[in-house]
Amino acid sequence: MDMHSWYKEQTVERFLKYAVIDTQSKRDADRRPSTPGQMELLRLIRRELEEMGIPETVLYDEGYLIARIPASPGCEQIPAVGFMAHVDTAGDVSGKDVKPQMVCSYDGSDITLGSSGLMLRASDNPELQECVGRDIITTDGTTLLGADDKAGAAEIITAAQYIMEHEEISHGPVELIFTSDEETGAGMDCFPVKDLQSVCCYTLDGSGRGSIEAECFYAVRADVKCTGVSYHLGRAKGRMVNAVTMASSFIRMLPQSESPESTEDREGYYCALSIQGDVEHADIQVYIRDFDRSQAQRRANAVKDIAKAVEAAFPGGSVTVEITWQYENMLEGISKHPAILETAEQAMRTIGIEPRYTSIRGGTDGARLTAMGIPAPNLFTGGNNYHSRYEWLCTDAMAEAAAVVTQIPMIWADRFREKSK
């Protein structure tokens, strides 16, 4: 069997095994991980890694698994490198009773999703055309697929198997990291970062073939509190100040041309995310997102200016703004160490893929890990249309992602030896 077919067979088999375990995570749960299925999958992965002969696998009660492949003889001095995937699936669509559909040698036409009546249309999915002649996995239209991020997990584990079975490969220490509750935003909340030995970590949680994501938003939250003055509505003239009206006036002053609905690519935005209140108090939560730190700061200042303007328009009322920086553009941490992205690019080119950079219009666990001091760019998994019934996965891209993961520790070792010469 040639190498590509081996990678494909292994990643597909693993993915199908993981896909049927319901690992949907739940927001605002009072335990970690938020749902029992995630721990079930982590235990299964741990057994698999142990069976491969990986000597050290640590499963944390909070829902993290860290496995360590020791350096090959003579490579002990090479800094450790990590690979990370999350085992949970998104809360938006059910992840229970997932029944993956296999489409072999895709012919470029629309794909019927089971008997659900849904269609994966070629016209809505230009990426499908890149996969003509390749094999695709879709849902049956009743659930999500969970390629986000079980494809990433299957690829990392397959690469680990390859490294364990090929003693001739020289590589430094490799850490395999599996996390839970990524989709709830709490994935890194209890992460045992002090136990990590890796100097950098590649997250396998990206999308189409060849993509490298090294950049995400700067994220700022503004908590706006409008305070009014309540009076009997029949005697309110000249005395009542309505906080609900103030809040509505505040939201109308946010530029609609700079909202998520009207921006794309590298454009930032304001988004009024929630509003609640009554005549006396009304609270608004505003998200500010931008790839540029100074632009994010400018928007935060603009929100404060709007608050002052509303206050001036409603004498007797008050508006306060509390600004919280939620996460940072990870490019800031990653670009300090050019070897990290250069190694990923070289790994892709070695197997015939031209890398392309895309920006994440959101945050990732990798961004939070980068903020903790371990730069963590995101690599492709072969999955598309995440968090939906239209999720699909190119199995050939999955095989290629596993090959990239195998290449990185080898290139990392070569570079280190070059440098120490």
Give the pair of three-digit tokens for residue 92. Answer: 């938006």
> What are the distances in angstroms from CA 105 to CA 108, 130, 138, 157?
9, 12, 13, 25
The one catalytic residue in 22, 182, 215, 396 is 182
Our measurement of the distance from residue 60's CA atom to the centroid of its chain's CA atoms, rounded to an integer in Å, reads 21
Of 381 and 395, nearer to Zn ion (C-beta) is 381
205 binds Zn ion (CB under 5 A): yes
For Zn ion, the binding residues in 131-150 under the rule CB under 5 A are 148-149
414 annotated active-site:
no
Q: Which stretch binds Zn ion (CB under 5 A): 64-72, 73-81, 197-205, 217-225?
A: 197-205
Least spacing, CB of residue 28 vs Zn ion, in Å:
19
**Omega within 30 of 0 (cis) for the link into 149:** yes
E strands in 114-217:
118-120, 136-138, 174-179, 200-204, 211-216
175 binds Zn ion (CB under 5 A): no
Least spacing, CB of residue 148 vs Zn ion, in Å:
4
For Zn ion, the binding residues in 222-261 under the rule CB under 5 A are none
Cα–Cα dist 411/81, whole Å: 11
Q: Is the dihedral of CA 7, 9, 10, 11 positive or negative?
A: positive
Total of residues contacting Zn ion (CB under 5 A): 3
61 annotated active-site:
no
For the chain, how are helix, strand and coil distributed in percent, rounded to 5?
35, 25, 40
Our measurement of the distance from residue 233's CA atom to the centroid of its chain's CA atoms, rounded to an integer in Å, reads 49
For Zn ion, the binding residues in 147-166 under the rule CB under 5 A are 148-149
396 binds Zn ion (CB under 5 A): no
- For the chain, the residue count is 421
Q: Which stretch binds Zn ion (CB under 5 A): 108-116, 199-207, 217-225, 348-356?
A: 199-207
The one catalytic residue in 88, 205, 213, 215 is 88
Of 182 and 400, nearer to Zn ion (C-beta) is 182
Of 69 and 90, nearer to Zn ion (C-beta) is 90
Give the pair of three-digit tokens for residue 115. Answer: 């008997």
Least spacing, CB of residue 101 vs Zn ion, in Å:
21
Q: Which residues, in sequence order, are bridge partners of residue 57?
A: 67
Least spacing, CB of residue 205 vs Zn ion, in Å:
4
Give the pair of three-digit tokens for residue 356. Answer: 């392309």
Cα–Cα dist 214/207, whole Å: 13
Cα–Cα dist 329/135, whole Å: 35
For Zn ion, the binding residues in 268-287 under the rule CB under 5 A are none
Least spacing, CB of residue 327 vs Zn ion, in Å:
15
Least spacing, CB of residue 110 vs Zn ion, in Å:
26
Which residues are designated catalytic? 88, 182
Query: Which residues contact Zn ion (rule: CB under 5 A)?
Result: 148-149, 205
